[in-house]
Every structure is written in C-alpha cells, then in structure tokens.
Amino acid sequence: MMRFKRARARAGLGDLHIHDLRHEATSRFFEKGLNPMQAATVKGHKTLQMLKRYTHLKAEDLARMLD
C-alpha cells in the first residue's frame, strides 16, 4: 500500500484510490466485449450483483455498441 501511495503522490493523483482502479478495470472489461460471467470470473466476483456494483459504463459507449 505504501508503494501505491508514493506513486500516487508522484503522479499528482492525491484523490485516487485502489478501489477506483477496480471500478475502472471492470468497466473496461465490458468495453472490450467480455460478457458478465467472463468479467466476474476475471475480477473474482462471486455474484453478478457484486460485479454490477463495480461496473460504470458510459451511456455514449453503450450507444456506440448498439449502432
């Protein structure tokens, strides 16, 4: 954890937390085309409800996928 805090400070990202990175990674898996079961397996989530908690997709990205 100390290494993360030092790297965060050097990068000038004082408000960034490891938890934020989990949210970001989960959303990117969906943007890459993984289905919910694949993303849950990669992330280690035991339930789809927990996976949903970490997923934050952008409306414009979803609209692009539906085109």
Q: What is the pTM of this model?
A: 0.66
With respect to residue 4, please indicate whether it lies within any of the assigned structural domains.
Answer: no
Q: How far is CA 18 from CA 10, 12, 23, 35, 61, in A?
A: 15, 15, 9, 24, 24
With respect to residue 8, please indicate whether it lies within any of the assigned structural domains.
Answer: no
Compute the distance between CA of residue 8 and CA of residue 48 in angstroms, rounded to an integer: 30
**And the tokens for 42?**
């990669």
With respect to residue 21, please indicate whether it lies within any of the assigned structural domains.
Answer: yes
Structural domain span for residue 62:
17-66
- Specify the number of domains making up the chain: 1
The reported pLDDT for the residue numbered 41 is 93
With respect to residue 53, please indicate whether it lies within any of the assigned structural domains.
Answer: yes
Could you say which residues of the chain have pLDDT below 50? none
With respect to residue 24, please indicate whether it lies within any of the assigned structural domains.
Answer: yes
With respect to residue 6, please indicate whether it lies within any of the assigned structural domains.
Answer: no
The reported pLDDT for the residue numbered 19 is 87
